[in-house]
């Protein structure tokens, strides 16, 4: 029933040693049946829903060196908890694993299932993006559903997803992704009011669904939430729409970035993304990737992210490059076909996406500067020092490399770096201190709003009228004084009329 496995003490050494095989506790996984039961976590409205006339689905699972037990538990849970007449097939793509149990033993094991399970062993390491394309090319059903190889689906998970695709073939829909503990394999439910966003690094991030979207959805907790992005591992989509929309970017390697790429593309080119609260699938989240990245981890991830930024983000790609300057130097490869796709599909702009779909994004749709915030006389720059909310904002020598010195002055008056805003106020400790605070999602609160005077260089707090001063390695609020050089700020690329 989804409870934790307790590893007996005599297996402790083995547990630690084998954690590295898959970056989860594979010994705990082996202590649990590959055919385990799970509680039904759906709310009453979800349980009451009735579905009919649903389309069939091809389930596509790609894997590289997956553990035996997690892979089989994925298959058993799908077969056990899906109406089998809706399952056209399960397509498994082995992305050149080198573990022998994933060859003949797996070929033999999958024959026991009452529905067709196809298993293809790829002759070369293709990465998850191209492996999924191999799978989707084989699919016979009108709906594609991608799953990771270490998930467990729960009762009633499939029908709500298929129902949305049937309702509108341009809806791409994901389940709520619950947490299977990487430590003890306990099944832990996730919040049903979380959606997908992203930050300046172009990392996918979970955030709380804003009031705006909850109001749009109305009071019914069993209706889907529209989300700016999907996590990417688990989602259903009409097969023809998948291809009409340009499937995946084959220029992307190994892992990473494809989820934001398909998210931006879906919204900008006429589709939409949803999370269905009546569909819950558990996933083993891990803190590190267990497998190799041929070509180097950072290089591959930057390559994929740069392709997304270049093709889909218009000038807003500069937020990514300011935060991750090394990404400018990776070769993103030929993107002609993807640019053509965007033109052919007559997709909307990234500005439209930010204004309409994701106004709460850490990337402001409207801003007046992007880059350093410098005291010219000392060549010192505002620096987050990688600190977190509630901590003091700092200063350091300008290095011109963005990253912790990358800031934007937004049209709403925030001085922000990613999702952190400079903040002033007695509630945050010393009244003169300038701290980092999570920016407001429905617009800035007063403590985050500053007026910039280009002539004097002053950043004047909207409430109280004091000025930000750079003193040594810290920021402080002081009485405004045009003669004080520590209050004379230069904002990179500042334009009074704003961007874009």
Looking at the Cβ atoms of 118 and 385, the one nearer to ligand UDP is 118
Q: Which residue is nearest to Mn ion (CB)?
A: 148
> Smallest distance, Å, CB 151 to ligand UDP?
9
Looking at the Cβ atoms of 148 and 192, the one nearer to Mn ion is 148
> Smallest distance, Å, CB 172 to ligand UDP?
17
Q: Is 95 in the site for Mn ion (CB under 5 A)?
A: no
Q: Is 148 in the site for Mn ion (CB under 5 A)?
A: yes
Phi, psi of 58 (to 5 degrees): -105, 120
Looking at the Cβ atoms of 60 and 365, the one nearer to Mn ion is 60
Looking at the Cβ atoms of 231 and 324, the one nearer to ligand UDP is 231
Task: Fill in the per-residue mask, 280 to 319: x = in contact with ligand UDP (CB under 6 A), - = not in contact.
Answer: ------x--x-x----------------------------
DSSP count for the chain of H helices, then E strands: 14, 25
How many residues interact with ligand UDP (rule CB under 6 A)? 16
289 binds, among ligand UDP, Mn ion, none (CB under 5 to 8 A by kind): ligand UDP
Task: Fill in the per-residue mask, 94 to 123: x = in contact with ligand UDP (CB under 6 A), - = not in contact.
Answer: -x----------------------------
456 binds, among ligand UDP, Mn ion, none (CB under 5 to 8 A by kind): none
Task: Fill in the per-residue mask, 121 to 160: x = in contact with ligand UDP (CB under 6 A), - = not in contact.
Answer: ------xx--x----------------xx-----------
Q: Is the dihedral of CA 462, 464, 470, 475 positive or negative?
A: negative
Looking at the Cβ atoms of 67 and 374, the one nearer to Mn ion is 67
> Is the CB of residue 338 less than 8 Å from the CB of residue 246?
yes
Give CA–CA dist 59/161, Å, rounded.
Answer: 12
Which uninterrupted H or E stretch holds 46? Answer: helix 44-48
Interface with Mn ion by CB under 5 A: which range of 147-155, 235-243, 301-309, 488-496? 147-155
> Smallest distance, Å, CB 71 to Mn ion?
12
> Smallest distance, Å, CB 308 to ligand UDP?
15
In terms of Cβ atoms closer than 10 Å to its own Cβ (0-12, 13-18, 19+), residue 20 is exposed
Considering only CA atoms, give the Rg of the chain: 25
Out of 160, 175, 196, 233, which residue is the one contacting ligand UDP (CB under 6 A)?
233
66 binds, among ligand UDP, Mn ion, none (CB under 5 to 8 A by kind): ligand UDP
Looking at the Cβ atoms of 5 and 284, the one nearer to ligand UDP is 284
**373-375 sheet: strands from edge to edge:** 450-453, 458-461, 467-471, 474-478, 394-397, 380-383, 373-375, 489-491
Looking at the Cβ atoms of 150 and 447, the one nearer to Mn ion is 150
Looking at the Cβ atoms of 128 and 361, the one nearer to ligand UDP is 128
Phi, psi of 235 (to 5 degrees): -165, 160
Give CA–CA dist 40/36, Å, rounded.
Answer: 13
Q: Is 252 in the site for ligand UDP (CB under 6 A)?
A: no
Which uninterrupted H or E stretch holds 33? Answer: none
Give CA–CA dist 128/139, Å, rounded.
Answer: 16
Looking at the Cβ atoms of 156 and 282, the one nearer to Mn ion is 282
Out of 19, 63, 198, 248, which residue is the one contacting ligand UDP (CB under 6 A)?
63
Residues that bind ligand UDP (CB under 6 A): 62-64, 66, 95, 127-128, 131, 148-149, 233, 254-255, 286, 289, 291
């Amino acid at each position: 029933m989804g409870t934790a496995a307790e590893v007996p003490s005599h297996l402790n050494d083995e547990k630690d040693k084998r954690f590295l095989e898959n970056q989860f506790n594979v010994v705990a996984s082996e202590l649990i049946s590959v055919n385990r039961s799970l509680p039904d976590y759906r709310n009453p409205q979800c349980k009451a829903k009735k579905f009919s006339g649903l389309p069939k689905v091809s389930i596509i699972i790609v894997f590289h060196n997956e553990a035996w037990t997690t892979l089989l538990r994925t298959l058993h849970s799908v077969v056990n908890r899906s109406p089998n007449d809706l399952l056209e097939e399960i397509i498994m793509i082995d992305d050149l694993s080198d573990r022998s149990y994933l060859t003949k033993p797996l070929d033999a094991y999958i024959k026991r299932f009452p529905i067709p399970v196809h298993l293809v062993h790829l002759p070369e390491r293709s990465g998850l993006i191209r492996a999924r394309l191999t799978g989707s090319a084989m699919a016979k059903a009108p709906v594609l559903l991608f799953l990771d190889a270490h998930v467990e689906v729960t009762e009633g998970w499939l029908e709500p997803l298929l129902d949305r695709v049937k309702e509108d073939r341009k809806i791409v829909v994901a389940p709520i992704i619950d947490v299977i503990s990487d430590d003890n394999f306990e099944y832990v439910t996730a919040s049903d009011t979380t959606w997908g966003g992203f930050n300046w690094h172009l990392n996918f991030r979970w955030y709380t669904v804003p009031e705006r979207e909850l109001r749009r959805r109305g009071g019914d907790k069993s209706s889907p939430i529209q989300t700016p992005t999907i996590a990417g591992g688990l989602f259903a989509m009409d097969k023809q729409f998948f291809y009409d929309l340009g499937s995946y970017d084959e220029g992307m390697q190994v892992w990473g970035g494809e989820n934001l790429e398909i998210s931006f593309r879906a919204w900008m080119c006429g589709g939409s993304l949803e999370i269905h609260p009546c569909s819950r699938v558990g996933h083993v989240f891990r803190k590190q990737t267990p497998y190799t990245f041929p070509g180097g981890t950072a290089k591959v991830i930057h390559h994929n992210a740069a392709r997304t930024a270049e093709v889909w983000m218009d000038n807003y790609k500069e937020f990514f490059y300011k935060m991750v300057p090394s990404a400018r130097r990776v070769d993103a490869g030929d993107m002609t076909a993807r640019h053509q796709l965007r033109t052919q599909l007559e997709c909307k702009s990234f500005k439209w996406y930010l204004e309409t779909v994701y106004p709460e994004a850490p990337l402001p749709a409207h801003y007046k500067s992007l880059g350093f915030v410098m005291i010219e006389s000392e060549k010192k720059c505002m620096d987050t020092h990688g600190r977190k909310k509630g901590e003091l904002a700092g200063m350091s020598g300008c290095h011109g490399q963005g990253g912790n010195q990358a800031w934007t002055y937004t049209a709403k008056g925030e001085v922000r770096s990613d999702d952190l805003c400079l903040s002033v106020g007695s509630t945050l400790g010393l009244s003169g201190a300038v701290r980092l605070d999570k920016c407001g999602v429905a617009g800035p609160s007063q403590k985050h709003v500053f007026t910039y005077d280009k002539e004097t260089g002053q950043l004047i707090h909207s409430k109280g009228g004091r000025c930000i001063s750079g003193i040594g390695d810290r920021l402080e609020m002081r009485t405004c004084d045009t003669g004080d050089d520590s209050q004379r700020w230069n904002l990179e690329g500042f334009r009074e009329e704003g961007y874009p």
